[in-house]
């Protein structure tokens, strides 16, 4: 049942209960979104005590004060770890960056210019890369299995990057989508099916609002956003198409920065998403909805790419980061360009300790292969989380985020605060935990090792004797569990 029907039923119920008169709406029963009817006007006909809740669901108004009051669905904070996938036509040249088209066309990259000059005919266009986006080895079920083994709990795929090419057969991206040119497949839909049929991971979508060289966008930009041709004809209908067709439980917006949220009709879309969309109860959103929203409005904050503040934040946040220096696949990347497993685990531990989630990016090839080094990093992450996940999943920040005496010790705790987890980035035979008060400790053990550990009070905090390293299953970082009195 849609929200419109719920509101009308509530109005009828109010009449039966003896509540005054109301003005009727003569509306045909059909699929409606906020553009078809003034839902707020309908709701205003309800008694005051019912105006904010219909059938037990809170209604959110299309303004930031109301939208920001929506509680973040608990699954997201508990999940902690996600996989980001940057895939598109930029995966064909696979040189320098997923911004290849932009930096090449603007003459900002000698590397991109020389690549095209040396390998393609004169007057070659970016659109001519698209037929080679074949995805011939793309196996979404293999991807889903890899992501599950990585220890991630959610996946976010680029449905459309700034180039405007969509990974689904969008009615609003004619001739510039994966069904019309390239793989001739619904790449997005295939992955959604594989994730949902074979894993327990949540499925989410990234979507760029702006498109570098879309003529409608360029006209609105030139008009200083006093016109909304691009939003009305392309973006708004595409957003509804995505949500209604694929029901993503994460909507990761981007490409918002040049225009204010009012131009993007962001508040109206989010009100629909939270009130009446098919994912209204579970969907989470980020903070990239206009030049005025970053780190200020939205379900959780991203603030910047690779955001890792190192201190506890007052609002839920996410560190979206890359294994390589680029988000898209680079065929000329060296092994030194990839994050080591030690650095990957350290980034996870630091971020989660400070209340964040971590979204780990991979960039597949044009053929649909996730490179061996990226697969290896994901499997190493999964190996570590398989041993130390108790300190990560469903954890909450502790009183201290990192230790007051020993560097590179990061803390979390469980929800009822009966245990404190101290994750050691560096190994030593004995460690001083200055943030832990001796009188609060009943026992200390290590995840991935047998038995209890010897510990004693210290001048500041406690000292813990660690087991022999060859008796410990964990690698790259080690978790002490402090059982509280």
Which of 36, 59, 82 is the C-terminal boundary of a domain? 59
Q: How far apart are CA 277 and CA 280, in angstroms?
A: 5
Confirm whether 437 is domain-assigned: yes
Check residue 454 and report its DSSP letter: P
Give pLDDT, residue 137. 99
Q: Are 346 and 480 found together in one domain?
A: no
* pLDDT computed for residue 108 by the predictor: 86
- Among 12, 33, 59, the domain-final residue is 59
CB-CB contact of 450 with 471 (8 Å) = yes
338 and 330 in contact (C-beta within 8 Å)?
no
* CATH number, residue 271: 3.20.20.80
In a domain? residue 68: no
Q: Residue 173 and residue 171: Cα distance in Å, rounded?
A: 6
Q: Is residue 471 part of a domain?
A: yes
Whether 364 is in a domain gets the answer: yes
Q: Based on the fold, state whether residues 212 and 266 are members of the same structural domain.
A: yes
β-partners of residue 317 are 301, 356
Per-residue pLDDT of the chain (485 residues; tens, 9 = 90+): 444 444 444 444 333 333 333 233 333 333 344 444 444 445 545 544 444 555 567 899 999 999 999 999 999 999 999 999 999 999 999 999 999 999 999 988 899 999 999 999 999 999 999 999 999 999 999 999 999 999 999 999 999 999 999 999 999 999 999 999 999 999 999 999 999 999 999 999 999 999 999 999 999 999 999 999 999 999 999 999 999 999 999 999 999 999 999 999 999 999 999 999 999 999 999 999 999 999 999 999 999 999 999 999 999 999 999 999 999 999 999 999 999 999 999 999 999 999 999 999 999 999 999 999 999 999 999 999 999 999 999 999 999 999 999 999 999 999 999 999 999 999 999 999 999 999 999 999 999 999 999 999 999 999 999 999 999 999 999 999 999 97
Q: What span, in angstroms and rounded, lies between the C-alpha atoms of 318 and 284?
A: 12
Instruction: Specify whether 318 is located in the same domain as 432.
Output: no
CATH code of the domain in which 465 resides: 2.60.40.1180
Question: Does 420 lie in the same domain as 336?
Answer: no
- Half-sphere exposure for 23 (CA within 13 Å, toward CB): 5
Helix-strand-coil split of the chain, %, nearest 5: 35, 15, 50
Asked if 446 and 480 touch (Cβ cutoff 8 Å), the reply is yes
Q: Do 146 and 251 sit in the same domain of this protein?
A: yes
Confirm whether 397 is domain-assigned. Answer: no
What DSSP assignment string belongs to 365-432?
-TTSPPPHHHHHHHHHHHHHHHHHGGGTTT-B--S-SB-SSSTTEEEEE-TTSSEEEEEESS--SEEE
Structural domain contains residue 67:
no
DSSP-derived 3-state class of residue 114: helix
Tell whether 271 and 143 lie within a shared domain: yes
d(CA 464, CA 397): 22
Residues 413 and 452 in one domain: yes
| Listed residue (294, 295, 296, 288) closest to 270, CA to CA | 288
- Strands 441-446 vs 478-484: parallel, antiparallel or unpaired: antiparallel
Q: State the pLDDT at residue 485.
A: 72
Residue 287 tokens, joined: 């903070």
User: Which of 337, 89, 380 shows the shortest CA–CA distance to 211?
Assistant: 89
For residues 312 and 228, state if they share a domain: yes
Same structural domain for residues 220 and 344?
yes
- CA 197-92-162 angle, to 5 degrees, is 75
Segments forming the whole domain that contains residue 428: 409-484
251 and 158 assigned to the same domain: yes
Residue 351 included in any domain: yes
Query: Distances in Å between the alpha carbon of 450 and those of 135, 189, 409, 470?
Result: 46, 45, 21, 12
Find out whether 46 and 14 touch, Cβ atoms under 8 Å.
yes
Q: Check whether residue 188 and residue 289 sit in a common domain.
A: yes
Q: What domain count does the chain have?
A: 3
State the pLDDT at residue 56. 63
Same-domain pairing of 385 and 422: no
């Amino acid at each position: 049942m849609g929200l419109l029907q719920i509101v009308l039923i509530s109005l009828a119920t109010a009449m039966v209960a003896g509540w005054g008169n109301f003005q009727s709406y003569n509306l045909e029963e059909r699929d409606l979104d906020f553009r078809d009817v003034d839902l707020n006007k309908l709701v205003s006909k309800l008694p005051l005590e019912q105006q904010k809740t219909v059938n037990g669901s809170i209604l959110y108004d299309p303004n930031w004060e109301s939208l920001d009051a929506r509680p973040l669905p608990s699954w997201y904070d508990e999940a902690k770890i996600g996989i980001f996938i940057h895939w598109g036509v930029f995966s064909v040249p696979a040189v320098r960056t997923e911004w290849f088209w932009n930096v090449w066309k603007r003459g900002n990259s000698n590397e991109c210019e020389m690549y095209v000059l040396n390998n393609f005919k004169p007057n070659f266009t970016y659109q001519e890369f698209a037929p080679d986006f074949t995805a011939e080895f793309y196996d979404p079920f293999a991807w889903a299995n890899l992501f599950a083994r990585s220890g991630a709990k959610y996946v976010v795929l680029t449905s459309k990057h700034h180039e405007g090419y969509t990974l689904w057969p969008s009615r609003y991206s004619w001739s510039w989508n994966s069904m019309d040119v390239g793989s001739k497949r619904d790449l997005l839909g295939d992955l959604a099916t594989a994730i949902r049929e074979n894993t327990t991971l949540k499925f989410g979508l990234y979507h760029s609002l702006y498109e570098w060289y879309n003529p409608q966008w360029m006209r609105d930009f030139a008009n200083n956003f006093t016109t909304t041709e691009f939003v009305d004809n392309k973006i708004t209908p595409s957003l509804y198409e995505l949500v209604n067709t694929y029901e993503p439980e994460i909507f990761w917006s981007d490409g918002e920065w040049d225009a204010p949220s009012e131009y993007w009709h962001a508040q109206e879309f989010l009100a629909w998403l939270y009130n009446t969309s098919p994912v209204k109860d579970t969907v989470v959103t980020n903070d990239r909805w206009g030049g005025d929203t970053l780190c200020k409005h939205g379900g959780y904050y991203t603030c910047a790419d690779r955001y890792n503040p190192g201190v506890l934040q007052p609002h839920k946040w996410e560190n979206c980061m890359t294994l390589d220096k680029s988000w898209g696949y680079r065929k000329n990347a060296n092994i030194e360009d990839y994050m080591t497993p030690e650095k990957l685990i350290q980034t996870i531990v630091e971020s989660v300790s400070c209340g964040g989630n971590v979204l780990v990016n991979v960039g597949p090839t044009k053929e649909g292969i996730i490179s061996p080094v990226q697969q290896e990093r994901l499997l190493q992450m999964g190996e570590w989380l398989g041993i130390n996940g108790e300190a990560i999943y469903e954890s909450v920040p502790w009183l201290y985020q990192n230790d007051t005496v020993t560097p590179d010790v990061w803390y979390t705790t469980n929800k009822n605060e009966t245990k404190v987890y101290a994750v050691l980035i560096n190994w030593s035979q004995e460690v001083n935990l200055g943030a832990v008060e001796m009188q609060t400790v009943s026992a200390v053990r290590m995840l991935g090792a047998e038995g209890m550990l010897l510990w004693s009070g210290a001048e500041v905090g406690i000292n813990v004797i660690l087991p022999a390293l060859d008796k410990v299953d964990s690698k790259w970082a080690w978790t002490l569990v402090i059982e509280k009195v």
